[in-house]
Each structure stands twice: as structure tokens, then as C-alpha cells.
Structure 1
């Protein structure tokens, strides 16, 4: 059986496939107008009519929110709470922006409906639903043209009866109905409402997208990557689409963790530079998770890998601002029209600057499978350089410097600002453009080395094939610390585990492949936010320790509160093993050096071009060098050296 991982990016759609232990890769240009077209083109090219198993990271849900092109939806909530989405938390994401504009709610006021009926904070019914009002509601929603409905009633996570009843009475509308207790069984009605609304907003589009692919591909199994680093069945993704919002970057983190762990590196900063953006993630022995995320200023309270994104990619556009200063990004040329050197673009990008400086070698770009047009650059660089009052070469170097500075700030956000020293971590770079910037970025951050995996341009797709099937469950309980050993807590976990086993079996996971990970959200009484603590024998001490790690103090006299019970159920299927590389000596094989390039570093310098596929484990060489391969190009500056490890990773250091 052939296994295929597919990652849809802003510029390229990447494929990794494995059959009989043999790994292969493939790339096609993305088709932003219809993302499924590139996916189907690649799968058809790879497998033809053969049955395959596919794990896919999709940007459909993400783009629907960012571009405000999701479904027309209605919100049903308690009477008097119709404006929860508009009121929010009253926090400004840009504190010093004088003309700050809040994000417009995804559901306008005319499609937000309040109904009589109330569940108490103890989960008891204190006011029954008004069935007459519900009958009218069905007609109102139908007349509004809603394509999906989000239902979020107070305290439904304790007693879902009212939400279930609303769904029963609206079932005849024949449109998706999303209940908040099924999406997020936790307190804080604003975040729960926002998450449920986002699920309803992206669900119809995601459903159509998955159906379109499933109908045209011979798949034994189609799985969709989640933001938490695990995969789920296509059916589950069509019901809980909110869990797929950051699936592409999550796949990259999983792939980086797998490659780094195999090579013996546990402390990593991952650096994924693609065509439109750069994603960074700090891993201190495990994949970092967050429960507090937002997309386009809308809270999304589902588990996600903690990734920080900036608008600096290979397609980031360089231009002069109103004051005449050079700026790079966040606007991107994307796949269409793309950089100037792709043949149709008209705006200078980071990719164009790298080509202008000689750091991209046209005949080896995608192994010669895609033509670059360096001759198109001169006019555009001359024009912008004249406006800036500098030479075209200085302009190109300035573009790279600014792009690197943007990415350096992103790494500092996840490291220095959180109490981590970058000098204690290895920079693991991937993405099509990452290898061109990694060495200079690591040097400026004081990081000791860079690890560049094999086929770095498709590591996100590899991560999807390396992912587990993961199900996350949570429930707000609000227990005092005295109830940590109570039967109720044990019963909550057991109920979740029973549900998890059933759902994982439906996903094709066998009993012996199932692993459960318990955790609690805890806080000192009186605090407003919680810390997630993994289950252990002494939860009180574990919480004090985690609180001290995060905030620098512990209060052993304060009472502790258990806010949420969490369970992560992990199904670990058999996965194809990563390949090692044949061993060679310290010197490069003769066939590895395939030419010379005229490259601008500090000065222009004739630089060896090295074919990565010809390298062997143990090979070592001194910069400068340009390493070319199918999915990426890696720049080894004059001050750096490079060696190849047993897994085929390039280890760049020496500064």
C-alpha cells in the first residue's frame, strides 16, 4: 500500500510518498483559486488509479477565515447573550494603534438569535426551553439564508440537554448544526461561542473540499491533519473542521520533531520558511501545545501546537514605504503571480533577491523542473534601487537583511521572551526557502548550529505521514484540591477514555496501539488563567513546580483549583521508517561538486555548487557553498562549515 502525505502551501503543494520502504517526493505549484486541483494533480501523477492512503494538511479552513469567505451562518444562544461575539473580552490586540478596528464578528446581529431557557452553573435546568419560540426560530433561520448553525447555550458543557433539543428541532433545515458542548466542553462562553462559530463558518467549505477530493482519488483511507499534530478521519474533519485550521504548520512541527529526535536533538527551534510566511516553534524535549490561540483576531480554544507565524517568506514583497524606507512583507506574491523570476510576477520578492545575489542556481531549481528567469530581474531591481538611492546589489542584500531581521524577531518571541536562551538550542530549518537564510539567522541569534533535514522543502508533508491519530477531550469541573483523589475525577477520565477507545477503533486503530495521556488545568484560587499539568502521583507539587517555572514563584499556602480535566488519546499506527544514508569519508565525492556560481556574500565570490543527492554520511566541507536539491537550496556562507550525519541531515556550524 502506498502512503502519501500532502501539504498545501501558499506557493507550492508538496507530496511525500512511501511504498515498500522507499521514500519519494514531488512538488507542484499551488492553485489558490481551487486548492484541490493541485492536490488531485499530484496524487494522480504519483499513484494514478492505485489505491492509496492519504494524510492531507489543508489550508481551506484557514483561508476561509482570513479571507472572510466562509459559510453564511446563524448563531443560536441564550436570550440576552446575542451580542457575546461583538462584546468579547474588550481586549485590544494592538494597544497603541490609534485607529484600531476590532474584527467584525463572523455572524452579523440579524443572524444572532436568542432563545428563552436556562441551565444553571451546577448543570440543573432552571428555565425550560420555549418550544413555541423554537418553532419560529426554524423559519427565521431558513429565511436568513444560513448554510450552517452554531448553537452555544450557557453551561451546556455540564448539561447538554437544551443544545441537543435545539438540534432536534432544527434538524429539518438540512444544514450542519454545530453544538458547543461537542466542540468545546469548557467554560468561558465567549471563547466557546467563538470556537463553535468558527467551526460552523468553515465546515460547509471543508466538507465540499473533502468530498471533492475523496470522489476523485482511489483512497483506502483519507485522513486530515489537525492543528494539534495528530490526524483524524475525513469524516471527523467534516464535523469538527475548526481542529484543522493550522494543520500545515502542525505537520511541519511533527516532521521536525521526528527528524530531530532520530538524529539525537531534543532542544530545537524549528524554522519553516515557505513562500508566504515563516513559522517558528520551540521544542524543549516535546511538542509544545497551547489552548489559547486566535486567527484573524477570533479566539480558537482547541489544542494546537504552539507556533508563531510572521509574514516573511520567499514570496514576501519588497517595496519602499511612504518615508522611502525599504520594507519586506507581510504582503506576498504567492503562487500567482509569484516572484518576478517565475515569469509572471511584477513585484520584487525575497526569492528574487536571492536569485539576484546568485544564491539560487536556475538550472537546479526543482532539479530543473521549473524555469527561473533571472533576466527579468534587472529592470525591476534597477528601478527600485534608483528610487531608494542605492545600487541594485545593495538593494538585494538589504531585502535579505530585513527578511532575516523579521524572522529573528519571531524566534526571539518564542525563546528569549519566554525565558529560553537560543544559544542552548539547535535551529532546525525547513520549507523551500529556509535553507537560504538559516545559517545567518542562527549566527545572529548565537545558536550553535543548524540542522537541515533531507528534502526540507517537503518536511511538512513528511510530518503528516509521521503523525499519530489523536483525539483531544476536555471538561470543565471546577474542583478544589481536596477532590483530586475523588471518585468523580476518576469517573470523568474513565468516561473520556471509553469514548476515546471507541472513536479510535472507528479510525482503524487497534487496541494495543492506543495510549492515553491525562492532564489537568490548574490554578491558585483567585487566579484567572490556568496551567496545564500532566497527570502524575503528586499533582499539587507538579503544579507548584510548573507555576514556578512559568512565573518565578510558588505559593504553597494558597488553595489550588482544578479547572478542566483533559485527555489526549493517541493511536500510534505503524509508520514507514526514516532512511539512513550510506557512509563515506570526510572528503566530498567527486560527483558532488557540479559547478560554480558567482555569489554575493559580503563580496562577490566564486562559490562551489554541491549536489546534495551525491553526499554521503561523514562528508565535511567548508563554506562558501550552495547546496542544491529538488525541494530546496541551502546556503553555506564563507564563515560556516557543513557536515553530513547518518540520517542525511546537514549540520552547519563554525561561527
Structure 2
């Protein structure tokens, strides 16, 4: 039995197969002990069936540790003379003239940086190896620092790992987690590589403890159960590997949403999509064209640079639980602070501060009696009472409208960043809205960006968990080679590098009882450039590079020499295909799904509308807004004049009228 769990800030989502039918359930998250909610969800999914589950988990433990700065005390070990590179960083910095602000705030302070007398050339030749006496001194100094984890990143450790291995072996006697750069990221650029290894060490103790305890809890209740973890790159890895390399999981949950949106939209016939995942704490957006989900090796998560492969996702602090407040000048702000699961929005019964969810409720955009299938009743009276106080003369509805406009402005900016600012026209895409709050705001964002269509997939509030359920088992391997591509000998050398990485991947997959398929890519650049573009390796890679360079930067020079910087291999073991249910299309107006007449507030006034039960809608139904479509995991708001249709998969497709 395959069970997928996505831990969110407010809810923990679970999607599973029961008798060939997809099921979804939600439980409240337990932020202090997130594993408790995961175990509760698995127990509810398995029920009395007695099945042994294969559990797949999208976790926020690593992400939250970074956001809250609650990782381990990390010692950073590098080549002597380069200890401060990790603090100096690059010229590009958040505050250009604030030299006292470290690019790695609160992570690697001066007393935790240590140098080793060693040197390897860029070609991998050992010029100097650390002596045993020097290693003993290093171990004593790191022990005295009180470090809880160690990050080792020597200057040219990616070219030849012999000295790094020697240093790591000596440090192993400390009994703490040791992260080594040639295992985590065997690539050039010492700052990015060092920072990535530091983040891995920073997260490893907490993630290792969490996953170990979760595996033990699963084994106690379901002997023989397995646990996999979603990576930021969109693939599953065994929990033991995620515990050792947690830097690969910092966008674990959002990656599940991207994969779910892509697969559902592709099945429905939409190849070019913008994913819009709005949860309780944040909103994640991504752009997917006909080539599939885009990955990046240049990301910054909570001010910390991470060069591990991850899906290209942009996050903003705007969610259903985002708090509204007035500043000293009387200006309204929304987020990034969130009410979280505890105490939550006012309407949940415990919160005291106004949130985006509360604003949606008082504007009639949430059904108080049908929230989570009626399991949770939202308190409208309490919410209106709290919002009537301190609204600075805006009135309850005006206050609520202002909150939604600010939240949507932040989300609109995020979508523009991944589309317009990268040369994509939003009018060519479909907005795929999911997450518990995404369908509430999707049509408003589509109108603002002139996106012609919104797709609300089946189970939108749990699409991240669905993506995790359908994801393949994936491992990424890379190696910096710095090679030209001018002759047959260069191509033969590249082939040797690819063969080596593929052999390593195949061996690791065999240990898991899996057979992997290889996908080869290369990072190319014009000789003399300081940045690269990733394209598929093989015939046509030069033409693909020039074309991508022209699209990204507006020009290409086919006469200029090109070099291969890094070779990459992605090994994938396909997960058993999950066929989404297909329904017979019959024309209808959805009248059988109407549960009540209601009022929804749009643009300064209340409009008569209808509330539909999504479970009762049939493929082929069509109707026009204003309307509310309620279901267990989400609510969809349909503004006036927007046209709704239900496709053969049960997806809600909304044609947005400008």
C-alpha cells in the first residue's frame, strides 16, 4: 500500500490508494513533533486493512530549521588561508554596503572556521597532504569548539578527494555528523560548494533524529514498512540517504506540488502551466513549459545559498494563515508572519489576530459549515467581532478586501518573476491552482496577469501529496570537468565521465533493488563566461545551447568557442504508473451539485451566487460565476462572468474573462 504524506504549516495531507481508488485525508499538523501527525495520517490511511505501507514523505523539518535558525552548531573545515571565503561570499549580496552582514548569518561564526595545511591543484595533483600531527591538532580544536556537526570543503576537493577523505576520517572520531564536499557537491566554485556543505551539516543532526524516530515509529506499528523522502529535485530517496544529505530536501513539500501539477495538467492536455500552490504559511509558484519541470543548481533558501539540484520554485510569505497588521503610520501589511497551526486563524476558534483566511470567510468565500467536509466549523461571528475592532475605519468588508488585495499583490509579483522577467508570456499558460488556499485566489491572479485559464485539479488541497505519491525514485550525480568540445578526444573524455557517474548510480540503485534509467545533461558556456546553461547531452547539444542562450540573454555567438563545465547524470527508477480516473462526459449545468444560494463579496458589493458541492459535479457540467465550489481539501472562488467546465478527469477548468 503506497501512502504519501505532505507536512504543511497548518495541515498534514495524506493521499493513498484504497482498492484502486485515490483517497485523501487531512490532519492538523503537530509543529513541535511533526512525526506524530505523520504517524496519525498513516494509521488512518491503513485503518483495519492490515497492509504494510510504503510511506513517502514530503517534510518541512529541514526548511523550518533554516527559517527559524534552529540547526546544529557547525564547524567549517577548509584549506588553510581560505577559512573566510564562507563569510565573504560573492559580490552580489542582500545589502551591498553592509559588510558586517555575513551571507551565512548565525551559521558559521569566526571561531568555528578551521584551516588545514593541504593543497591540490585544479587538475587534481596533490601538492601537500595534511600530516597526522596536523590532523590531531585539527580534531582537538574542533572538539574544543563544541561543534555538533562538521562541514569539510577543501579548495579542490572536487578534483581529487584524497585529502578530504583523510580529513573526514580523522574527524570521525568526534562522533558527530561530518559532511564532505566531494560526496555532497563535487563541483567547482568554492563558496557555493562550501555553503551547500555547511547547510547539509547544519540540518543533518535534526533531520537524522527526526527520520530515525519516524522510521522506528512506523516499524513499531507496521513491521516491514518502508520510508522514502521527497527531494527538492522532484524524486524520492530512501530515508537513510535523506538523513545523511538533508540539503537535498529543503524544498521537499513544494517539489511534490510541482510534480503533481505537472502530471495532472499534462494528462488534461495542458503542457504550458504556471503552478500556484498556496498553503497556510507560504505560496510557491513555478513555471513549466513543454519541456517539463525546470531545475536549478543556484538557489537561495532563507538567505542561505544551496547548490544542490532542486526544482525552480519561487516562494513568498503569503498564505492562508498570513497575519494582517497596521504599522505606526496606519499602513496595512499582510505577512510574512503566519498564525500557523497553533493558534491558527481567528475563525478556527483560538487565534486572536486577523489572517487571510478570516478575510475570505467574512467576504463569503468560505463555507463555514462545509470546511474540511464539515469536520471543522468556522466561527463567523467571532471573526466578524474581532475584525470590527481596529480596522482603522475601513469597515469589516473593506478591511477584508484590503487584506486580500495585498496578499494577491505579493503572489502576483512572484508569478511575474518566474514568467515575465524570464521572457515568458503568461497569456500562453494555464494557471494550475492548488494547496488549501490556492483556488480561492486563482481567478483574481489570472485576471491581473491576463492568464486565460485556471485549472483546479482533483484534490487540490492535497496535490503535493499526490505528486509525492506519483514521483519516481531519483538520484542526481555531477562532476566538474572544464573541458572543451572541439574534437573527438574531448567527446570521448566526456563519455568516460558519464560512464563513471552512471556506474556509481547503477550500483546504488542495485543496493535498493531497483533498476535506474540514465538522463545525461551538461552545463555549457562560452569560453570566458562566468555562468552556464544546462542542456541535454549528445548530438545537438551545441545548437540547443546557442538557442537557449539567445532566448535567455537575447543573443548567441555560434562562432565562439564553447566549453563543458559540469557533466550531470540523473538516474530514475520509474514508480508504478497511477492512472487518474476518467469519467464519461455528459452535458449539464451542475444544478444537481448546488447545495445552497449564497452571497459573495466582489469589488465592493455583495453578489448573489450559488455554492456547488464539487463531489456532486459531473464531467461535462458547465456554468458561469459568481459561484463557490466547495470540497474536502479546498474551496474555489469563481468571479462573475468566468465560465466553469468539468473535464473528463473531474478537473475544474475556468475560462477567465478579463
CA deviation after TM superposition for structure 1 residue 589, in Å: 4.8
Give SS of 1:363's match: coil
Q: Is residue 2:474 matched to residue 1:474?
A: no
Q: Paired residue for 2:346? A: 340
Q: Deviations over 1:537-595 (max 9, x none)?
A: 133222211111111111123211111111111111213321223433222252x1111
Give SS of 1:331's match: strand
Q: Is residue 2:606 matched to residue 1:604?
A: yes
Distance in 1 between residues matched to 2:99 and 2:416, nearest whole Å: 26
Say if 2:447 and 2:656, in contact at 8 Å, map to a contact too: no
CA deviation after TM superposition for structure 1 residue 19, in Å: 3.1
Among candidates 635, 645, 648, match of residue 646 of structure 1: 648
CA deviation after TM superposition for structure 1 residue 145, in Å: 2.2
Among candidates 404, 409, 423, match of residue 405 of structure 1: 409
Distance in 1 between residues matched to 2:624 and 2:191, nearest whole Å: 56
CA deviation after TM superposition for structure 1 residue 284, in Å: 0.6
Q: Paired residue for 2:363? A: 357
Structure 2: runs of 5+ lacking an equivalent: none
Distance in 1 between residues matched to 2:599 and 2:72, nearest whole Å: 51
Q: Paired residue for 1:232? A: 237
The aligned runs of 1:36-51 (5 Å cut-off) are: 36-48=35-47, 50-51=51-52
Q: Deviations over 1:491-546 (max 9, x none)?
A: 11001111111112223323xxx321111111111111111111131332222111
Say if 2:88 and 2:102, in contact at 8 Å, map to a contact too: no
Name which of structure 1's ranges 43-52 and 451-460 shifts more when overlaid on structure 2: 43-52
CA deviation after TM superposition for structure 1 residue 321, in Å: 2.0
The aligned runs of 1:477-556 (5 Å cut-off) are: 477-483=481-487, 485-510=490-515, 514-556=516-558
Distance in 2 between residues matched to 1:486 and 1:594, nearest whole Å: 65
Q: Paired residue for 1:158? A: 159
Distance in 1 between residues matched to 2:415 and 2:325, nearest whole Å: 24
Distance in 1 between residues matched to 2:288 and 2:97, nearest whole Å: 32
Distance in 1 between residues matched to 2:101 and 2:152, nearest whole Å: 30
Q: Deviations over 1:581-625 (max 9, x none)?
A: 3433222252x1111222212321232111000111101111111
The aligned runs of 1:550-565 (5 Å cut-off) are: 550-565=552-567
CA deviation after TM superposition for structure 1 residue 93, in Å: 2.1
Q: Is residue 2:190 matched to residue 1:189?
A: yes
Q: Paired residue for 1:452? A: 456
- Structure 2 vs 1, CA of residues 613 and 312 (structure 1 numbering), >3 Å: closer, same or farther? same
Q: Deviations over 1:9-34 (max 9, x none)?
A: 11111000113311100101111112
Q: Paired residue for 1:23? A: 22
Say if 1:231 and 1:468, in contact at 8 Å, map to a contact too: yes
The aligned runs of 1:628-643 (5 Å cut-off) are: 628-643=630-645
Q: Is residue 2:228 matched to residue 1:223?
A: yes
Among candidates 428, 433, 436, match of residue 437 of structure 2: 433
Q: Paired residue for 2:91? A: 90
The aligned runs of 1:48-87 (5 Å cut-off) are: 48=47, 50-87=51-88
TM-score normalised over the length of structure 2: 0.96
TM-score normalised over the length of structure 1: 0.96
Q: Is residue 2:286 matched to residue 1:271?
A: no
The aligned runs of 1:76-225 (5 Å cut-off) are: 76-94=77-95, 102-217=103-218, 218=222, 220-225=225-230
Say if 1:10 and 1:275, in contact at 8 Å, map to a contact too: yes
Distance in 1 between residues matched to 2:32 and 2:69, nearest whole Å: 15
Distance in 1 between residues matched to 2:656 and 2:349, nearest whole Å: 37
CA deviation after TM superposition for structure 1 residue 466, in Å: 0.9
CA deviation after TM superposition for structure 1 residue 637, in Å: 1.2
Q: Paired residue for 2:10? A: 11
Q: Is residue 2:306 matched to residue 1:304?
A: no
Say if 2:287 and 2:294, in contact at 8 Å, map to a contact too: yes
Structure 1: runs of 5+ lacking an equivalent: none
Q: Deviations over 1:62-114 (max 9, x none)?
A: 11111111112212111111111111113222559999775425122212111
Q: Is residue 2:322 matched to residue 1:320?
A: no
Among candidates 384, 389, 395, match of residue 383 of structure 1: 389
Q: Paired residue for 1:293? A: 299
RMSD of aligned Cα (Å)? 1.6
Distance in 2 between residues matched to 1:381 and 1:99, nearest whole Å: 42
Say if 1:117 and 1:128, in contact at 8 Å, map to a contact too: yes
Say if 1:21 and 1:577, in contact at 8 Å, map to a contact too: no
CA deviation after TM superposition for structure 1 residue 171, in Å: 2.2
Aligned length: 648
Q: Deviations over 1:422-481 (max 9, x none)?
A: 011000000000111111111111111100001100000000011111111111111122
Distance in 1 between residues matched to 2:404 and 2:105, nearest whole Å: 35
Q: Is residue 2:628 matched to residue 1:626?
A: yes
Give SS of 2:225's match: strand
Q: Deviations over 1:314-337 (max 9, x none)?
A: 111111122212121111111111
Q: Paired residue for 2:285? A: 280
Distance in 1 between residues matched to 2:189 and 2:444, nearest whole Å: 44
Give SS of 2:389's match: helix
Among candidates 233, 245, 252, match of residue 250 of structure 2: 245
Name which of structure 1's ranges 108-117 and 525-534 shifts more when overlaid on structure 2: 108-117
Give SS of 2:108's match: coil
Distance in 2 between residues matched to 1:539 and 1:126, nearest whole Å: 36
Give SS of 2:353's match: coil
Distance in 2 between residues matched to 1:91 and 1:408, nearest whole Å: 25
Say if 2:103 and 2:304, in contact at 8 Å, map to a contact too: no
Say if 1:251 and 1:462, in contact at 8 Å, map to a contact too: yes
- Structure 2 vs 1, CA of residues 422 and 486 (structure 1 numbering), >3 Å: closer, same or farther? closer
Say if 2:443 and 2:656, in contact at 8 Å, map to a contact too: no
Distance in 2 between residues matched to 1:276 and 1:456, nearest whole Å: 16
Say if 2:88 and 2:103, in contact at 8 Å, map to a contact too: no
Give SS of 2:370's match: helix
Distance in 2 between residues matched to 1:453 and 1:149, nearest whole Å: 44
Moved over 6 A (4+): 96-101
Distance in 2 between residues matched to 1:455 and 1:542, nearest whole Å: 37
Q: Paired residue for 2:576? A: 574
Give SS of 1:583's match: coil
Name which of structure 1's ranges 132-141 and 114-123 shifts more when overlaid on structure 2: 132-141
Give SS of 1:371's match: coil
Say if 2:321 and 2:344, in contact at 8 Å, map to a contact too: yes
